Amino acid sequence: MDILANFSQGLLVVLQPENLMYCFIGVFLGTFIGVLPGIGSMAAIAMILPITFYLDPTPALVMIAGVFYGAEYGGSTASILLNVPGTPAASITAIEGHQLAKKGRAGVALFSTATASFGGGIIGMVVIALLSPFLAKLALSFAPADYFAVILLGLIAASAVSNGGALKGIAMVITGLMLGTIGIDLTTGVTRFTMGVPELRDGIHIVIVAMGLFGVGEVIASIRATRSGTATQTVDYSDFYPSKKEWKSLFAPILRGGAIGSFIGALPGTGQTIAAALAYAVEKRVSPQRKDFGTGVVPGVAVPEAANNSATQTAFIPTLTLGVPGSPPMAIVIGALMIYGITPGPRLLTEQPDMFWGLVASFLVGNIMLLILNVPLIGIWVRLLNIPYKYMYPTIIVLICMGVYSLNNNVFDIWLTLVIGVVGYVMRLFRFEPAPLLLGFVLGPLMEEHLRRTMLLSRGDPMVFVTRPISATLLAITALIIVFALYSTARTHRRALAARLGSSRKEQPNEL
């Protein structure tokens, strides 16, 4: 295998000063823009797009890629510190990350995510280097039926993301699914639930849902303490770094997250959000610390980061080798390539080996740069938490408004965020969690699209789900998971019942 040779060639390409510089610019820009809530990689990439016209394809691509995974990393910083996800995928990181910050362990959270992102990025890179042709072919053999099965699996995982009880969790996922139907039905072109409002034609933008549910809802919930002056958000400087045990506990989640993320990211259209959710759900089942999930656990914050960073990298595979963008920023990448007269497609690997391998090698360099850039910043970010919340929260509101407004320059979006923010606060009051809703909202329309398309293509034959090997396998796995979940719930109930009926009235103290 001359993969090593290709990779070394790519390394030589990326280590040229021009490429190095643009890699740095991309990563730098991406990180800072990603921190700003709502303004994700899209805005950043759109911003540097004009610059790419003056560049050759390789540095341009390297820079765009840097922005992409830099923004993903920056997004997690905001979600840990403020519970305002900078990107939708970061909302999973927020689950454990913000709990850690509330316990005064923001530094620990940030170190964990930095390491996890780096680890995930490296895994993603290795996967691309070794498996690109295989993954490209795999993506090609995915028919709508198979996509449906993957997304269904993702939805089951989304229900498992909830920490507050399965019933409410599933209800939230279904609610998200339901709200996702607002907008134009892609299969028939008819508008649904838009109540005549033209801005709702394309549905509610996911950034608005994320900002409203997480950001605005969180601020409303947190103001009370500020007003009465009892809020304390401390940083425990003695607990700044993860303990040795915690460093060690990062290893397995990073591997798991990176693996899941690489695979999911390579499937066009599935995206980093699904990768992060799936990884978190799996970790909850598998981690030795699973009982503590939801209270701020290091593996819980690391695994979604590893997953979404590796997904970010492998998302380039379908983009470059198939020309199918997995997400809007990838569409920009394709567009940029087309301006250079480079058509993404299976030919790209053979026709543009320098560019492709330069890009792959740039993932290594870029991730190292991210690490070097961000680790010293952790101290600064954490100091940000010492700013009294009374100054922070109006600023957060403004940042949310800016992020939302920058989507379409339309104040309607702000009003919508307001409504959703109120909903988010109400949800908190009733202890409904926003994360499963967000996931349902993202996955629902996808699932419906693929289900109906499968039916169209098979001319109404539902057996196609079982006859296609990929979908049959995935559906079988999903069924097994459901059965197992039901079984273990039944078992716990039986045990609880037995314990109550049994002898001891003494309650065992819970030893932590």
Partner 1 sequence: MNYKAQFTGAVMAVAAAMTSTAVLAEPGAWSDEPVRIVVTFPPGGTSDLVARLLAQQLDTGFGQKAVVDNRPGAAGTVAADYVAQQPADGTTLILSNNAPFTISPTRFKSLPYDPIEDFTHVAYIGASAPGLFVQPSSGITTLEAYVAQVKETPMTYGSSGVGSISHILGEAVDAALSVESIHVPYQGSAPAIQDFRAGALDSFYDMVVQNSDMIEDGEAVALAIASPERNPQLPDVPTFREQGYDIVIENWVGLSAPAGLDPALREKIHETVLAVFAKPEVQEKLTDLGITHVAMSSEDYEALVSELIGVWAPLIEAAGIKE
Partner 2 sequence: MNQHSNDPEDNGQAELAIESPAGALGWGGEIGGVLLLVLSIIFMVGGWQLGLGVPTRLGTGAFPFATGAVLAVLALAIVIAERKGDGLAETPDWIGLLAISASLAVFAIVVDRLGLVPGVFATVVVASLPDRNLSLRGKALLGIIVALGCWGVFIELLNLPIKPFLEF
Q: Which stretch binds partner 2 (CB under 8 A): 187-195, 270-278, 326-334, 471-479?
A: 187-195
Choose from partner 2, partner 1, none: what does 322 bind? Cβ within 5-8 Å by kind: partner 1
320 closest CA partner among 340, 334, 341, 336 = 334
Query: To the nearest whole angstrom, how small is the minimum distance from the Cβ of residue 194 to partner 1?
Result: 10
> What is the C-alpha to C-alpha distance for residues 373 and 378, in angstroms, rounded to an integer?
10
Residue 9: CB atoms within 10 Å:
16
231 closest CA partner among 51, 387, 107, 80 = 387
> What is the C-alpha to C-alpha distance for residues 68 and 52, in angstroms, rounded to an integer?
15
> What is the C-alpha to C-alpha distance for residues 467 and 380, in angstroms, rounded to an integer?
55
3 closest CA partner among 367, 270, 294, 361 = 361
- Of 19 and 159, nearer to partner 2 (C-beta) is 159
**Any contact of residue 432 with partner 2 (CB under 8 A)?**
yes
- The amino acid occupying position 424 is G
Under DSSP, is residue 53 helix (H, G, I), strand (E, B) or coil? Answer: coil
- Interface residue with partner 2 among 101, 105, 168, 355 (CB under 8 A) is 168
Q: Fill in the per-residue mask, 108 to 147: x = in contact with partner 2 (CB under 8 A), - = not in contact.
A: ----------------------------------------
398 closest CA partner among 87, 24, 37 = 37
Query: To the nearest whole angstrom, how small is the minimum distance from the Cβ of residue 457 to partner 2?
Result: 12
3-state SS, one letter per residue, for 459-491: CCCCCHHHHCHHHHHHHHHHHHHHHHHHHHHHH
Q: How far is CA 380 from the centre of its chain?
A: 24
Residues 6+ apart with CB under 8 A from 16: none
- The amino acid occupying position 287 is S
Query: To the nearest whole angstrom, how small is the minimum distance from the Cβ of residue 425 to partner 1?
Result: 28
Query: To the nearest whole angstrom, how small is the minimum distance from the Cβ of residue 222 to partner 2?
Result: 6
Choose from partner 1, partner 2, none: what does 345 bind? Cβ within 5-8 Å by kind: partner 1
**Any contact of residue 452 with partner 2 (CB under 8 A)?**
yes
Choose from partner 1, partner 2, none: what does 144 bind? Cβ within 5-8 Å by kind: partner 1
Q: Fill in the per-residue mask, 22 to 61: x = in contact with partner 2 (CB under 8 A), - = not in contact.
A: -----------x--x--x---x---x--------------
Residues 6+ apart with CB under 8 A from 304: 89, 92, 93, 257, 276, 277, 279, 280
- Interface residue with partner 2 among 238, 350, 386, 409 (CB under 8 A) is 409
> What is the C-alpha to C-alpha distance for residues 227 and 262, in angstroms, rounded to an integer?
45
Choose from partner 1, partner 2, none: what does 339 bind? Cβ within 5-8 Å by kind: partner 1
- Of 124 and 183, nearer to partner 2 (C-beta) is 183
Choose from partner 1, partner 2, none: what does 221 bind? Cβ within 5-8 Å by kind: partner 2
Residue 404: CB atoms within 10 Å:
28
CB-facing half-sphere around the CA of 468: CA atoms within 13 A: 20
Query: To the nearest whole angstrom, how small is the minimum distance from the Cβ of residue 185 to partner 1?
Result: 8
| Site for partner 1, rule CB under 8 A | 42, 45-46, 49-50, 53, 139-144, 184, 186-190, 198-199, 201-202, 268-269, 318, 322-325, 328, 331-336, 338-339, 341, 343, 345-347, 408-409, 449, 453, 456-457, 459
Q: Are 18 and 59 in contact (CB under 8 A)?
A: yes
- Of 293 and 465, nearer to partner 1 (C-beta) is 465
- Of 350 and 508, nearer to partner 2 (C-beta) is 508
Query: To the nearest whole angstrom, how small is the minimum distance from the Cβ of residue 331 to partner 1?
Result: 4
Query: To the nearest whole angstrom, how small is the minimum distance from the Cβ of residue 357 to partner 1?
Result: 21
Q: What angle do CA 484, 91, 95 make, to 5 degrees?
A: 65
> What is the C-alpha to C-alpha distance for residues 77 and 58, in angstroms, rounded to an integer?
29
Choose from partner 2, partner 1, none: what does 288 bind? Cβ within 5-8 Å by kind: none
- Interface residue with partner 2 among 230, 350, 503, 508 (CB under 8 A) is 230
- Of 96 and 413, nearer to partner 1 (C-beta) is 413
452 closest CA partner among 188, 272, 178 = 188
> What is the C-alpha to C-alpha distance for residues 155 and 250, in angstroms, rounded to an integer?
26
- Interface residue with partner 2 among 197, 387, 411, 490 (CB under 8 A) is 411
- Of 45 and 82, nearer to partner 1 (C-beta) is 45
Q: Which stretch binds partner 2 (CB under 8 A): 3-11, 242-250, 356-364, 455-463?
A: 455-463
- Interface residue with partner 2 among 199, 222, 368, 381 (CB under 8 A) is 222
Q: How far is CA 178 from CA 7, 207, 437, in A?
A: 46, 17, 10
- Of 15 and 331, nearer to partner 1 (C-beta) is 331
Place of tokens 């591997």: 255
CB-facing half-sphere around the CA of 317: CA atoms within 13 A: 33
**Any contact of residue 335 with partner 2 (CB under 8 A)?**
no
- Of 10 and 421, nearer to partner 2 (C-beta) is 421
- Of 271 and 436, nearer to partner 2 (C-beta) is 436
Strand partners, 497: none
H or E, element range at 178: helix 166-179
> Which residues inside 277-296 make contact with partner 2, applying CB under 8 A?
294-295
- Of 315 and 396, nearer to partner 1 (C-beta) is 315
Q: Which stretch binds partner 2 (CB under 8 A): 125-133, 240-248, 401-409, 473-481?
A: 401-409
- The amino acid occupying position 307 is A
**Any contact of residue 227 with partner 2 (CB under 8 A)?**
yes
